[in-house]
Amino acid sequence: MKKLYEEWTGRSMNKETFRDLLKLATPIFIYAPIYLYWFILIEKHKFSHYAVIHTVVDDHIPFVEAFIIPYFMWFAYVALTLLFFMVSFDVEDYYKNFFFLATGMTIFLIISTLFPNMHNLRPVTMPRDNVFTHLVQFIYSTDTPTNLWPSIHVYNSIGTMIAVHHSKRFNKIGVIIMDIIGALIILSTLFVKQHSFYDVITAFIMAIIFYIVFYHSSFMESFCVRQEEKVAVRYN
């Protein structure tokens, strides 16, 4: 296992490697608690007014409970991809992916705090009784239908797909598989009635903006070069 990891990363597994991994993980250690604490606060806080999000398109989207499976897959899909870039010492891919995700998630928190929003899309009663509807009910019971705009499920899925497309680690088959999973996750937000079509579209718009910011800007390129130099890892 050690030899495989060393061949994979091009580094010897020693104290310096673990030190550099800790250095790469520091942004996650700092941001994750801040995000979770802020998110829990706005979820538990009862705002005096919520803007109801709804579009005509939402009325034509059916409830399909089987899509709860890709909806659940989002948690591993986003987190494991970011961790993959970190442990593989793909410094540029890691930092671009991290800042893309963190920026969108922070904007989501700010919007949810200043402009509380909600929707009334969830079915009052489940149309069927099966394992999928039970999973949907579990999500409904743990996640309120508030603070949904823009959809972080969608935004982070797009960010993950972008990162994979830019990575040298994924072959064509790997990219296609990740694209399919990402697309199913995005569709799942609509079919399990967790998000409005408006949430999805605005997430796409935000993703396009930050794709330009983090993947086509000189300041981000310079930052990544400096970080690569600090851990002495660079592709030949």
Assess whether pLDDT exceeds 80 at residue 233. no
Residue 6 has pLDDT above 80, yes or no: no
- The residue that leads in pLDDT, 106 or 235, is 106
Residue 220 has pLDDT above 50, yes or no: yes
With cut-offs at 50, 70 and 90, classify the pLDDT of residue 236: very low
Residue among 48, 37, 10, 8 at smallest CA distance from 233:
10
Do you know the residue count of the chain?
A: 236
Phi and psi, residue 62, nearest 5°? -75, 160
- Render pLDDT for 182-203 as a digit per residue (tens, 0 to 9): 999 999 999 999 999 999 999 9
Parallel, antiparallel or unpaired: strands 51-52 and 117-118 = parallel
Tens digits of per-residue pLDDT, 161-176? 999 999 999 999 999 9
Q: Report pTM.
A: 0.92
pLDDT in tens, 120-142: 999 989 999 999 999 999 999 99
Q: Could you tell me which residues come within 8 angstroms of residue 132 by beta carbon, excluding any fewer than 6 positions away?
A: 65, 66, 68, 69
Q: What is the pLDDT of residues 46-58, one digit of tens each?
A: 888 899 999 999 9
The amino acid at 222: S
Within 10 angstroms of residue 202's Cβ, the number of other Cβ atoms is 18
What per-residue confidence (pLDDT) applies to 234?
Answer: 44
Whole-number pLDDT of residue 80: 97
